[in-house]
Structure 1
Amino acid sequence: MNQKTLDLMMGFAAGVMIAASFWSLLAPAIELSAELGGNSWLISSVGFLLGGSFVIGSDIVLSKASLIKSKGSAMKRSILLTSAVTIHNIPEGLAIGIAFGSVALGIHGATAQGAVMLALGIGLQNFPEGVCVAMPLRRDGASRMKSFLIGQSSGIVEPIAGVLGVLFALTIRSALPLALSFSAGAMIAVVCSELIPESFKNHKTIAAFGVLFGFAIMMVLDVALG
Protein backbone atom coordinates (compact mmCIF):
# COMPACT_ATOMS: atom_id res chain seq x y z
CA MET A 1 0.00 0.00 0.00
CA ASN A 2 1.18 3.52 -0.80
CA GLN A 3 2.74 5.02 2.35
CA LYS A 4 0.87 8.32 2.01
CA THR A 5 -2.45 6.50 1.79
CA LEU A 6 -1.50 4.36 4.77
CA ASP A 7 -0.54 7.41 6.87
CA LEU A 8 -3.75 9.23 5.89
CA MET A 9 -5.83 6.19 6.82
CA MET A 10 -4.08 5.76 10.17
CA GLY A 11 -4.45 9.47 10.91
CA PHE A 12 -8.16 9.30 10.06
CA ALA A 13 -8.61 6.31 12.37
CA ALA A 14 -6.77 8.17 15.14
CA GLY A 15 -9.09 11.18 14.76
CA VAL A 16 -12.20 9.00 14.84
CA MET A 17 -10.97 7.12 17.91
CA ILE A 18 -10.06 10.31 19.81
CA ALA A 19 -13.50 11.82 19.20
CA ALA A 20 -15.26 8.51 19.90
CA SER A 21 -13.35 8.11 23.16
CA PHE A 22 -15.05 11.21 24.47
CA TRP A 23 -18.48 11.39 22.85
CA SER A 24 -19.24 7.68 22.61
CA LEU A 25 -17.53 6.45 25.78
CA LEU A 26 -16.31 9.00 28.31
CA ALA A 27 -19.22 11.46 28.19
CA PRO A 28 -21.86 8.68 28.53
CA ALA A 29 -19.80 7.21 31.40
CA ILE A 30 -19.89 10.53 33.28
CA GLU A 31 -23.63 10.99 32.70
CA LEU A 32 -24.53 7.40 33.61
CA SER A 33 -22.40 7.53 36.76
CA ALA A 34 -24.27 10.67 37.86
CA GLU A 35 -27.62 8.97 37.15
CA LEU A 36 -26.61 5.99 39.28
CA GLY A 37 -25.71 8.28 42.16
CA GLY A 38 -21.97 7.75 41.96
CA ASN A 39 -19.09 10.22 41.99
CA SER A 40 -18.99 10.74 38.23
CA TRP A 41 -15.63 12.52 37.94
CA LEU A 42 -13.84 10.06 40.24
CA ILE A 43 -15.21 6.87 38.62
CA SER A 44 -14.57 8.15 35.10
CA SER A 45 -11.06 9.34 35.95
CA VAL A 46 -10.12 6.06 37.62
CA GLY A 47 -11.52 4.00 34.74
CA PHE A 48 -9.78 6.20 32.17
CA LEU A 49 -6.41 5.92 33.90
CA LEU A 50 -6.79 2.16 34.40
CA GLY A 51 -7.56 1.65 30.70
CA GLY A 52 -4.59 3.72 29.59
CA SER A 53 -2.31 2.06 32.13
CA PHE A 54 -3.38 -1.38 30.86
CA VAL A 55 -2.22 -0.59 27.32
CA ILE A 56 0.95 1.19 28.44
CA GLY A 57 1.78 -1.65 30.84
CA SER A 58 1.27 -4.20 28.08
CA ASP A 59 3.67 -2.24 25.87
CA ILE A 60 6.31 -2.15 28.61
CA VAL A 61 6.05 -5.88 29.31
CA LEU A 62 6.25 -6.78 25.62
CA SER A 63 9.15 -4.38 25.05
CA LYS A 64 11.12 -6.00 27.86
CA ALA A 65 10.34 -9.44 26.46
CA SER A 66 11.55 -8.25 23.07
CA LEU A 67 14.84 -7.04 24.57
CA ILE A 68 15.34 -10.33 26.40
CA LYS A 69 14.83 -12.34 23.23
CA SER A 70 16.55 -9.91 20.85
CA LYS A 71 19.40 -12.37 20.37
CA GLY A 72 16.99 -15.08 19.23
CA SER A 73 15.56 -15.76 15.82
CA ALA A 74 13.68 -13.25 13.68
CA MET A 75 10.62 -15.47 13.98
CA LYS A 76 10.59 -14.93 17.75
CA ARG A 77 10.51 -11.16 17.20
CA SER A 78 7.61 -11.59 14.80
CA ILE A 79 5.76 -13.61 17.45
CA LEU A 80 6.30 -10.80 19.97
CA LEU A 81 4.94 -8.27 17.46
CA THR A 82 1.88 -10.46 16.89
CA SER A 83 1.34 -10.67 20.65
CA ALA A 84 1.55 -6.88 20.98
CA VAL A 85 -1.05 -6.28 18.26
CA THR A 86 -3.33 -8.97 19.72
CA ILE A 87 -3.21 -7.44 23.21
CA HIS A 88 -4.01 -3.99 21.78
CA ASN A 89 -7.05 -5.38 19.99
CA ILE A 90 -8.71 -6.60 23.21
CA PRO A 91 -9.63 -3.17 24.67
CA GLU A 92 -10.60 -1.97 21.19
CA GLY A 93 -13.09 -4.84 20.85
CA LEU A 94 -14.42 -4.18 24.35
CA ALA A 95 -14.91 -0.52 23.45
CA ILE A 96 -17.02 -1.42 20.40
CA GLY A 97 -19.12 -3.93 22.33
CA ILE A 98 -19.70 -1.57 25.23
CA ALA A 99 -20.65 1.25 22.83
CA PHE A 100 -23.32 -0.91 21.15
CA GLY A 101 -24.47 -2.29 24.50
CA SER A 102 -24.93 1.26 25.77
CA VAL A 103 -27.09 2.07 22.75
CA ALA A 104 -29.22 -1.02 23.43
CA LEU A 105 -29.73 0.14 27.02
CA GLY A 106 -30.77 3.59 25.83
CA ILE A 107 -28.11 5.36 27.85
CA HIS A 108 -28.18 9.12 27.30
CA GLY A 109 -25.32 10.23 25.06
CA ALA A 110 -24.79 6.79 23.50
CA THR A 111 -25.88 6.80 19.84
CA ALA A 112 -25.97 4.19 17.10
CA GLN A 113 -24.09 6.58 14.80
CA GLY A 114 -21.34 6.94 17.35
CA ALA A 115 -21.05 3.18 17.87
CA VAL A 116 -20.91 2.54 14.12
CA MET A 117 -18.26 5.21 13.54
CA LEU A 118 -16.23 3.86 16.45
CA ALA A 119 -16.31 0.40 14.86
CA LEU A 120 -15.39 1.93 11.49
CA GLY A 121 -12.44 3.86 12.92
CA ILE A 122 -11.07 0.84 14.74
CA GLY A 123 -11.66 -1.31 11.66
CA LEU A 124 -9.66 1.09 9.48
CA GLN A 125 -6.65 1.05 11.79
CA ASN A 126 -6.77 -2.75 11.82
CA PHE A 127 -5.62 -2.79 8.17
CA PRO A 128 -2.13 -1.40 8.87
CA GLU A 129 -1.94 -3.49 12.06
CA GLY A 130 -2.59 -6.65 10.03
CA VAL A 131 0.08 -5.61 7.53
CA CYS A 132 2.54 -5.00 10.39
CA VAL A 133 2.00 -8.60 11.53
CA ALA A 134 1.90 -10.37 8.16
CA MET A 135 4.78 -8.63 6.35
CA PRO A 136 7.56 -9.44 8.88
CA LEU A 137 6.41 -13.07 8.94
CA ARG A 138 6.58 -13.22 5.14
CA ARG A 139 10.01 -11.56 5.22
CA ASP A 140 11.23 -14.16 7.72
CA GLY A 141 10.29 -17.03 5.43
CA ALA A 142 6.68 -17.88 6.28
CA SER A 143 4.38 -18.73 3.38
CA ARG A 144 1.87 -16.19 2.07
CA MET A 145 -1.04 -18.20 3.47
CA LYS A 146 0.58 -18.65 6.87
CA SER A 147 1.44 -14.93 7.07
CA PHE A 148 -2.14 -14.02 6.11
CA LEU A 149 -3.73 -16.40 8.61
CA ILE A 150 -1.53 -15.26 11.51
CA GLY A 151 -2.28 -11.63 10.62
CA GLN A 152 -5.99 -12.45 10.70
CA SER A 153 -5.71 -14.37 13.96
CA SER A 154 -4.17 -11.33 15.67
CA GLY A 155 -7.46 -9.53 15.07
CA ILE A 156 -9.87 -12.38 15.87
CA VAL A 157 -9.81 -11.38 19.54
CA GLU A 158 -11.52 -8.12 18.64
CA PRO A 159 -14.99 -9.48 17.72
CA ILE A 160 -14.77 -11.91 20.66
CA ALA A 161 -14.00 -9.01 23.00
CA GLY A 162 -16.82 -7.08 21.31
CA VAL A 163 -19.36 -9.76 22.22
CA LEU A 164 -18.05 -9.81 25.79
CA GLY A 165 -18.36 -6.03 25.90
CA VAL A 166 -22.02 -6.17 24.85
CA LEU A 167 -22.78 -8.87 27.43
CA PHE A 168 -20.98 -6.89 30.10
CA ALA A 169 -22.93 -3.73 29.27
CA LEU A 170 -26.28 -5.53 29.32
CA THR A 171 -25.78 -7.54 32.51
CA ILE A 172 -23.74 -5.32 34.86
CA ARG A 173 -25.17 -1.84 34.39
CA SER A 174 -23.74 -0.48 37.65
CA ALA A 175 -20.19 -1.20 36.46
CA LEU A 176 -20.80 0.29 33.01
CA PRO A 177 -19.38 3.79 33.78
CA LEU A 178 -16.08 2.23 34.83
CA ALA A 179 -16.04 -0.05 31.77
CA LEU A 180 -16.84 2.82 29.38
CA SER A 181 -14.13 5.07 30.80
CA PHE A 182 -11.66 2.12 30.86
CA SER A 183 -12.26 1.58 27.13
CA ALA A 184 -11.83 5.30 26.45
CA GLY A 185 -8.50 5.38 28.29
CA ALA A 186 -7.30 2.26 26.49
CA MET A 187 -8.16 3.72 23.09
CA ILE A 188 -6.45 7.06 23.79
CA ALA A 189 -3.33 5.15 24.88
CA VAL A 190 -3.38 3.09 21.66
CA VAL A 191 -3.77 6.26 19.58
CA CYS A 192 -0.92 8.05 21.38
CA SER A 193 1.49 5.11 21.49
CA GLU A 194 0.80 3.51 18.10
CA LEU A 195 -1.28 5.41 15.54
CA ILE A 196 -0.02 8.99 15.98
CA PRO A 197 3.74 8.19 16.09
CA GLU A 198 3.54 5.73 13.19
CA SER A 199 1.39 7.90 10.90
CA PHE A 200 3.34 11.12 11.62
CA LYS A 201 6.75 9.53 11.08
CA ASN A 202 6.84 9.87 7.27
CA HIS A 203 4.07 12.27 6.20
CA LYS A 204 3.20 14.52 9.13
CA THR A 205 1.01 16.97 7.18
CA ILE A 206 -1.05 14.28 5.47
CA ALA A 207 -1.52 12.39 8.72
CA ALA A 208 -2.53 15.60 10.52
CA PHE A 209 -5.25 16.26 7.94
CA GLY A 210 -6.41 12.66 8.42
CA VAL A 211 -6.69 13.18 12.20
CA LEU A 212 -8.65 16.43 11.76
CA PHE A 213 -10.97 14.91 9.15
CA GLY A 214 -11.63 11.80 11.23
CA PHE A 215 -12.28 13.84 14.37
CA ALA A 216 -14.62 16.23 12.51
CA ILE A 217 -16.68 13.40 11.00
CA MET A 218 -17.04 11.70 14.36
CA MET A 219 -17.97 15.00 16.02
CA VAL A 220 -20.65 15.77 13.41
CA LEU A 221 -22.18 12.32 13.71
CA ASP A 222 -22.21 12.34 17.51
CA VAL A 223 -23.22 15.95 18.11
CA ALA A 224 -25.30 17.02 15.11
CA LEU A 225 -27.00 13.68 14.47
CA GLY A 226 -26.95 12.25 18.01
Structure 2
Amino acid sequence: MSFHQMTKIIGLNVADQEGFDAFRAARAVVGLLIASLGLYLGVTQGAPSIWAAIQYIAATPEKLQAVEYSAIAGAATGLGGMALLVMKKIDDKGLGLFIAIAGGMMAAAAVMSLFIPAIQTEGALMVALVATAAGYGVMTILDQTLPHEHPVAGAGLAGKERMRMALLMTIAIALHNVPEGFAVGASAGNLNGSSSTAFSIGLQNIPEGLIVATALWSIGVHKALAALAALATGLVEPIGAGLGVITADSWAMGTPASMAFAAGAMAFVVCNEMIPESMKMTGKIKTVYVAGVSTVFTALALGWMGA
Protein backbone atom coordinates (compact mmCIF):
# COMPACT_ATOMS: atom_id res chain seq x y z
CA MET A 1 0.00 0.00 0.00
CA SER A 2 1.36 3.41 -0.97
CA PHE A 3 1.74 6.35 1.39
CA HIS A 4 -0.96 8.23 -0.56
CA GLN A 5 -3.44 5.35 -0.14
CA MET A 6 -2.71 5.12 3.57
CA THR A 7 -3.45 8.80 4.05
CA LYS A 8 -6.81 8.41 2.31
CA ILE A 9 -7.81 5.54 4.58
CA ILE A 10 -7.06 7.46 7.77
CA GLY A 11 -8.65 10.63 6.45
CA LEU A 12 -5.62 12.86 5.86
CA ASN A 13 -5.78 15.55 3.19
CA VAL A 14 -3.05 16.83 0.83
CA ALA A 15 -1.94 19.48 3.28
CA ASP A 16 -1.44 16.82 5.92
CA GLN A 17 0.61 14.80 3.48
CA GLU A 18 2.78 17.83 2.76
CA GLY A 19 3.27 18.21 6.50
CA PHE A 20 4.38 14.61 6.72
CA ASP A 21 6.77 15.13 3.81
CA ALA A 22 8.27 18.14 5.57
CA PHE A 23 8.58 16.14 8.78
CA ARG A 24 10.35 13.31 6.99
CA ALA A 25 12.74 15.76 5.33
CA ALA A 26 13.50 17.37 8.67
CA ARG A 27 14.05 13.96 10.23
CA ALA A 28 16.48 13.09 7.43
CA VAL A 29 18.43 16.30 8.06
CA VAL A 30 18.57 15.63 11.80
CA GLY A 31 19.69 12.06 11.14
CA LEU A 32 22.46 13.30 8.84
CA LEU A 33 23.64 15.76 11.50
CA ILE A 34 23.67 13.03 14.17
CA ALA A 35 25.58 10.69 11.85
CA SER A 36 28.10 13.46 11.05
CA LEU A 37 28.57 14.17 14.76
CA GLY A 38 29.07 10.47 15.45
CA LEU A 39 31.63 10.21 12.65
CA TYR A 40 33.47 13.29 13.99
CA LEU A 41 33.58 11.90 17.53
CA GLY A 42 34.65 8.50 16.23
CA VAL A 43 37.58 10.00 14.31
CA THR A 44 38.69 12.49 16.98
CA GLN A 45 38.05 10.37 20.09
CA GLY A 46 37.81 6.75 18.96
CA ALA A 47 40.81 6.60 16.63
CA PRO A 48 43.36 7.69 19.30
CA SER A 49 41.92 5.15 21.74
CA ILE A 50 42.14 2.39 19.14
CA TRP A 51 45.71 3.36 18.32
CA ALA A 52 46.62 3.36 22.02
CA ALA A 53 45.09 -0.13 22.39
CA ILE A 54 47.08 -1.38 19.38
CA GLN A 55 50.31 0.00 20.86
CA TYR A 56 49.50 -1.56 24.23
CA ILE A 57 48.99 -5.00 22.70
CA ALA A 58 52.01 -4.74 20.40
CA ALA A 59 54.28 -3.87 23.34
CA THR A 60 53.86 -7.36 24.85
CA PRO A 61 54.91 -10.37 22.74
CA GLU A 62 52.41 -12.72 24.43
CA LYS A 63 49.47 -10.40 23.78
CA LEU A 64 50.51 -9.74 20.20
CA GLN A 65 50.99 -13.45 19.56
CA ALA A 66 47.50 -14.21 20.87
CA VAL A 67 46.04 -11.68 18.41
CA GLU A 68 48.12 -13.23 15.63
CA TYR A 69 46.81 -16.68 16.57
CA SER A 70 43.25 -15.35 16.35
CA ALA A 71 43.95 -13.87 12.92
CA ILE A 72 45.21 -17.24 11.68
CA ALA A 73 42.17 -18.99 13.15
CA GLY A 74 39.87 -16.43 11.55
CA ALA A 75 41.54 -16.86 8.18
CA ALA A 76 40.54 -20.53 8.29
CA THR A 77 37.05 -19.43 7.21
CA GLY A 78 38.69 -18.62 3.90
CA LEU A 79 39.81 -22.24 3.59
CA GLY A 80 36.20 -23.33 3.91
CA GLY A 81 35.24 -20.80 1.26
CA MET A 82 37.99 -22.05 -1.05
CA ALA A 83 36.63 -25.59 -0.71
CA LEU A 84 33.59 -24.34 -2.60
CA LEU A 85 35.79 -23.61 -5.63
CA VAL A 86 36.52 -27.31 -6.14
CA MET A 87 33.12 -28.70 -5.15
CA LYS A 88 30.42 -29.11 -7.76
CA LYS A 89 27.58 -29.87 -5.37
CA ILE A 90 27.06 -29.30 -1.65
CA ASP A 91 24.86 -31.89 0.01
CA ASP A 92 22.94 -30.69 3.08
CA LYS A 93 23.61 -33.95 4.92
CA GLY A 94 27.33 -33.68 4.35
CA LEU A 95 27.32 -30.04 5.40
CA GLY A 96 25.40 -31.00 8.54
CA LEU A 97 28.11 -33.50 9.43
CA PHE A 98 30.73 -30.77 9.02
CA ILE A 99 28.74 -28.61 11.44
CA ALA A 100 28.52 -31.48 13.95
CA ILE A 101 32.30 -31.99 13.78
CA ALA A 102 32.83 -28.26 14.26
CA GLY A 103 30.44 -28.22 17.20
CA GLY A 104 32.34 -31.01 18.91
CA MET A 105 35.62 -29.20 18.39
CA MET A 106 34.24 -25.97 19.82
CA ALA A 107 32.72 -27.76 22.83
CA ALA A 108 36.06 -29.38 23.68
CA ALA A 109 37.90 -26.08 23.28
CA ALA A 110 35.39 -24.22 25.47
CA VAL A 111 35.71 -26.74 28.30
CA MET A 112 39.40 -27.69 28.21
CA SER A 113 41.07 -24.50 27.01
CA LEU A 114 38.80 -21.95 28.69
CA PHE A 115 36.41 -23.15 31.41
CA ILE A 116 38.67 -25.60 33.28
CA PRO A 117 41.70 -23.24 33.42
CA ALA A 118 39.37 -20.45 34.57
CA ILE A 119 37.86 -22.34 37.51
CA GLN A 120 41.27 -23.72 38.48
CA THR A 121 42.65 -20.21 38.95
CA GLU A 122 43.10 -19.56 42.66
CA GLY A 123 40.13 -17.69 44.13
CA ALA A 124 38.32 -17.45 40.81
CA LEU A 125 35.73 -20.23 41.07
CA MET A 126 32.66 -18.04 41.68
CA VAL A 127 33.88 -15.35 39.28
CA ALA A 128 34.35 -17.98 36.56
CA LEU A 129 30.92 -19.53 37.13
CA VAL A 130 29.19 -16.14 36.99
CA ALA A 131 31.21 -15.13 33.92
CA THR A 132 30.29 -18.37 32.14
CA ALA A 133 26.61 -17.74 32.79
CA ALA A 134 27.06 -14.13 31.65
CA GLY A 135 28.70 -15.22 28.40
CA TYR A 136 25.85 -17.60 27.66
CA GLY A 137 23.29 -14.95 28.60
CA VAL A 138 24.82 -12.20 26.49
CA MET A 139 24.86 -14.43 23.43
CA THR A 140 21.23 -15.34 24.14
CA ILE A 141 20.28 -11.65 24.19
CA LEU A 142 22.21 -10.96 21.00
CA ASP A 143 20.56 -13.93 19.35
CA GLN A 144 17.11 -12.62 20.27
CA THR A 145 17.71 -8.96 19.42
CA LEU A 146 20.01 -8.88 16.40
CA PRO A 147 18.62 -9.85 12.99
CA HIS A 148 20.17 -13.01 11.61
CA GLU A 149 19.27 -16.35 10.08
CA HIS A 150 20.77 -19.78 10.59
CA PRO A 151 19.52 -22.29 7.99
CA VAL A 152 21.38 -22.69 4.72
CA ALA A 153 19.73 -20.72 1.93
CA GLY A 154 18.14 -23.38 -0.22
CA ALA A 155 17.11 -23.35 -3.82
CA GLY A 156 13.42 -23.51 -2.94
CA LEU A 157 13.31 -19.94 -1.63
CA ALA A 158 12.37 -16.92 -3.69
CA GLY A 159 15.18 -14.69 -4.91
CA LYS A 160 14.76 -11.84 -2.42
CA GLU A 161 14.22 -14.22 0.47
CA ARG A 162 17.31 -16.20 -0.45
CA MET A 163 19.35 -12.99 -0.59
CA ARG A 164 18.07 -11.90 2.80
CA MET A 165 18.72 -15.29 4.39
CA ALA A 166 22.24 -15.57 3.00
CA LEU A 167 23.22 -12.06 4.08
CA LEU A 168 21.77 -12.52 7.55
CA MET A 169 23.58 -15.83 7.87
CA THR A 170 26.83 -14.07 6.98
CA ILE A 171 26.14 -11.56 9.76
CA ALA A 172 25.45 -14.42 12.17
CA ILE A 173 28.74 -16.18 11.39
CA ALA A 174 30.68 -12.92 11.72
CA LEU A 175 28.94 -12.25 15.04
CA HIS A 176 29.90 -15.69 16.33
CA ASN A 177 33.52 -15.08 15.40
CA VAL A 178 33.85 -12.14 17.81
CA PRO A 179 33.62 -14.24 21.00
CA GLU A 180 35.85 -16.84 19.34
CA GLY A 181 38.55 -14.20 18.93
CA PHE A 182 37.80 -12.97 22.45
CA ALA A 183 38.47 -16.49 23.73
CA VAL A 184 41.94 -16.55 22.17
CA GLY A 185 42.79 -13.09 23.48
CA ALA A 186 41.49 -13.85 26.97
CA SER A 187 43.90 -16.77 27.24
CA ALA A 188 46.91 -14.69 26.18
CA GLY A 189 48.50 -15.17 29.59
CA ASN A 190 48.89 -18.87 28.79
CA LEU A 191 50.33 -19.33 25.31
CA ASN A 192 49.69 -23.08 25.37
CA GLY A 193 46.04 -22.41 26.09
CA SER A 194 45.96 -19.57 23.57
CA SER A 195 47.48 -21.66 20.78
CA SER A 196 45.28 -24.70 21.45
CA THR A 197 42.16 -22.52 21.60
CA ALA A 198 43.11 -20.88 18.31
CA PHE A 199 43.83 -24.29 16.78
CA SER A 200 40.43 -25.74 17.69
CA ILE A 201 38.61 -22.58 16.64
CA GLY A 202 40.50 -22.53 13.35
CA LEU A 203 39.43 -26.11 12.64
CA GLN A 204 35.76 -25.40 13.25
CA ASN A 205 36.01 -22.16 11.23
CA ILE A 206 36.59 -24.20 8.07
CA PRO A 207 33.02 -25.56 7.85
CA GLU A 208 31.71 -22.14 8.96
CA GLY A 209 33.41 -20.58 5.95
CA LEU A 210 31.93 -23.27 3.72
CA ILE A 211 28.47 -22.45 5.09
CA VAL A 212 28.81 -18.74 4.27
CA ALA A 213 30.26 -19.35 0.82
CA THR A 214 27.58 -21.93 -0.01
CA ALA A 215 24.79 -19.60 1.09
CA LEU A 216 26.09 -16.77 -1.09
CA TRP A 217 26.70 -19.08 -4.02
CA SER A 218 23.13 -20.34 -3.77
CA ILE A 219 21.81 -16.84 -4.55
CA GLY A 220 24.02 -16.38 -7.60
CA VAL A 221 27.19 -14.84 -6.15
CA HIS A 222 30.32 -15.95 -8.01
CA LYS A 223 32.25 -18.69 -6.22
CA ALA A 224 35.39 -16.56 -5.88
CA LEU A 225 33.49 -13.65 -4.33
CA ALA A 226 31.63 -16.04 -2.04
CA ALA A 227 34.98 -17.43 -0.84
CA LEU A 228 36.28 -13.90 -0.18
CA ALA A 229 33.13 -13.08 1.78
CA ALA A 230 33.67 -16.20 3.89
CA LEU A 231 37.22 -15.05 4.61
CA ALA A 232 35.93 -11.61 5.60
CA THR A 233 33.66 -13.06 8.28
CA GLY A 234 36.71 -14.51 10.02
CA LEU A 235 38.70 -11.28 9.96
CA VAL A 236 36.68 -9.93 12.89
CA GLU A 237 38.39 -12.42 15.21
CA PRO A 238 41.52 -10.28 15.83
CA ILE A 239 39.17 -7.51 17.00
CA GLY A 240 37.61 -9.88 19.49
CA ALA A 241 41.10 -11.02 20.53
CA GLY A 242 42.14 -7.45 21.23
CA LEU A 243 39.08 -6.95 23.41
CA GLY A 244 39.88 -10.20 25.23
CA VAL A 245 43.47 -9.15 25.91
CA ILE A 246 42.48 -5.74 27.28
CA THR A 247 39.65 -7.15 29.40
CA ALA A 248 41.91 -9.81 30.88
CA ASP A 249 44.42 -7.13 31.93
CA SER A 250 41.92 -4.64 33.31
CA TRP A 251 41.46 -6.31 36.73
CA ALA A 252 42.98 -9.04 38.90
CA MET A 253 40.42 -11.66 37.90
CA GLY A 254 40.25 -10.44 34.32
CA THR A 255 41.93 -13.45 32.75
CA PRO A 256 39.78 -16.22 34.33
CA ALA A 257 36.63 -14.10 33.97
CA SER A 258 37.31 -13.41 30.30
CA MET A 259 38.11 -17.04 29.57
CA ALA A 260 34.96 -18.21 31.36
CA PHE A 261 32.84 -15.57 29.58
CA ALA A 262 34.16 -16.75 26.23
CA ALA A 263 33.50 -20.37 27.24
CA GLY A 264 29.87 -19.50 27.97
CA ALA A 265 29.50 -17.67 24.66
CA MET A 266 30.98 -20.61 22.76
CA ALA A 267 28.71 -23.03 24.65
CA PHE A 268 25.69 -21.05 23.43
CA VAL A 269 26.87 -21.24 19.83
CA VAL A 270 27.31 -25.02 20.11
CA CYS A 271 24.08 -25.78 22.00
CA ASN A 272 21.73 -23.31 20.35
CA GLU A 273 23.13 -22.95 16.85
CA MET A 274 25.41 -25.67 15.58
CA ILE A 275 23.99 -28.88 17.03
CA PRO A 276 20.30 -28.03 16.28
CA GLU A 277 21.18 -27.05 12.70
CA SER A 278 23.18 -30.25 12.22
CA MET A 279 20.24 -32.30 13.53
CA LYS A 280 17.92 -30.67 11.02
CA MET A 281 20.31 -31.45 8.16
CA THR A 282 21.54 -34.94 9.00
CA GLY A 283 19.31 -36.30 11.77
CA LYS A 284 19.60 -36.55 15.55
CA ILE A 285 21.48 -39.86 15.84
CA LYS A 286 24.23 -39.02 13.34
CA THR A 287 24.71 -35.58 14.84
CA VAL A 288 25.03 -36.91 18.39
CA TYR A 289 27.56 -39.59 17.44
CA VAL A 290 29.64 -37.41 15.11
CA ALA A 291 29.70 -34.47 17.55
CA GLY A 292 30.58 -36.82 20.39
CA VAL A 293 33.48 -38.42 18.53
CA SER A 294 34.69 -34.98 17.45
CA THR A 295 34.59 -33.76 21.06
CA VAL A 296 36.58 -36.73 22.35
CA PHE A 297 39.28 -36.56 19.69
CA THR A 298 39.61 -32.79 20.03
CA ALA A 299 39.87 -33.13 23.81
CA LEU A 300 42.62 -35.73 23.40
CA ALA A 301 44.45 -33.45 20.94
CA LEU A 302 44.16 -30.45 23.26
CA GLY A 303 45.38 -32.55 26.20
CA TRP A 304 48.36 -33.67 24.12
CA MET A 305 49.08 -30.01 23.27
CA GLY A 306 49.02 -29.12 26.96
CA ALA A 307 45.82 -27.03 26.94
Q: Does the alignment reach a TM-score above 0.5?
A: yes
Contact (CA 8 Å) 2:118, 2:125: kept in 1 or not? no
- Is 1:216 the counterpart of 2:300? The answer is no
Instruction: Give, in angstroms, the shift of residue 65 of structure 1.
Output: 9.3
2:186 alignment partner, one of 90, 98, 101? 98
- Is 1:118 the counterpart of 2:197? The answer is yes
Instruction: Give, in angstroms, the shift of residue 170 of structure 1.
Output: 5.4
1:21 alignment partner, one of 110, 134, 155? 110
Structure 2 letter corresponding to 1:144: K
- Is 1:56 the counterpart of 2:140? The answer is yes
Partner of 1:154, secondary structure, is: helix
Give the total of aligned pairs. 208
CA RMSD of superposed structures (Å): 3.0
Structure 2 letter corresponding to 1:197: P
**Misfit runs of 4+, over 6 Å:** none
- Is 1:134 the counterpart of 2:227? The answer is no
Identify unmatched segments of 5+ residues in structure 1. Answer: 35-39, 105-111
Instruction: Give, in angstroms, the shift of residue 140 of structure 1.
Output: 2.3
**Closer, same or farther: CA 52–5 of 1 in aligned 2, 3 Å:** same
| Alpha-carbon distance in structure 1 between the residues aligned to 2:255 and 2:125 | 14
Structure 1 letter corresponding to 2:107: I
Contact (CA 8 Å) 2:182, 2:244: kept in 1 or not? yes
| TM-score, structure 2 as length reference | 0.58
Contact (CA 8 Å) 1:49, 1:185: kept in 2 or not? yes
**Closer, same or farther: CA 63–45 of 1 in aligned 2, 3 Å:** same
Identity of aligned residues (%): 34
Structure 2 letter corresponding to 1:97: G
**Closer, same or farther: CA 218–146 of 1 in aligned 2, 3 Å:** closer
Partner of 1:102, secondary structure, is: coil
Question: Which structure: larger Rg?
Answer: 2
| Alpha-carbon distance in structure 1 between the residues aligned to 2:223 and 2:303 | 44
| Alpha-carbon distance in structure 2 between the residues aligned to 1:141 and 1:56 | 32
Partner of 2:170, secondary structure, is: helix
- Is 1:83 the counterpart of 2:196? The answer is no
Query: Higher mean Cα deviation, 84-93 or 49-58?
Result: 49-58
Higher relative contact order (CA 8 A, sep 6+): 1
Contact (CA 8 Å) 1:15, 1:212: kept in 2 or not? yes
| TM-score, structure 1 as length reference | 0.76
| Alpha-carbon distance in structure 2 between the residues aligned to 1:225 and 1:118 | 10
Deviations 1:115-163 (A, max 9, x none): 4443233223222322332223223233333322222211111233234
Structure 2 letter corresponding to 1:42: M
**Closer, same or farther: CA 26–64 of 1 in aligned 2, 3 Å:** closer
Identify unmatched segments of 5+ residues in structure 2. Answer: 1-89, 151-157
- Is 1:152 the counterpart of 2:223? The answer is no
Instruction: Give, in angstroms, the shift of residue 91 of structure 1.
Output: 0.2
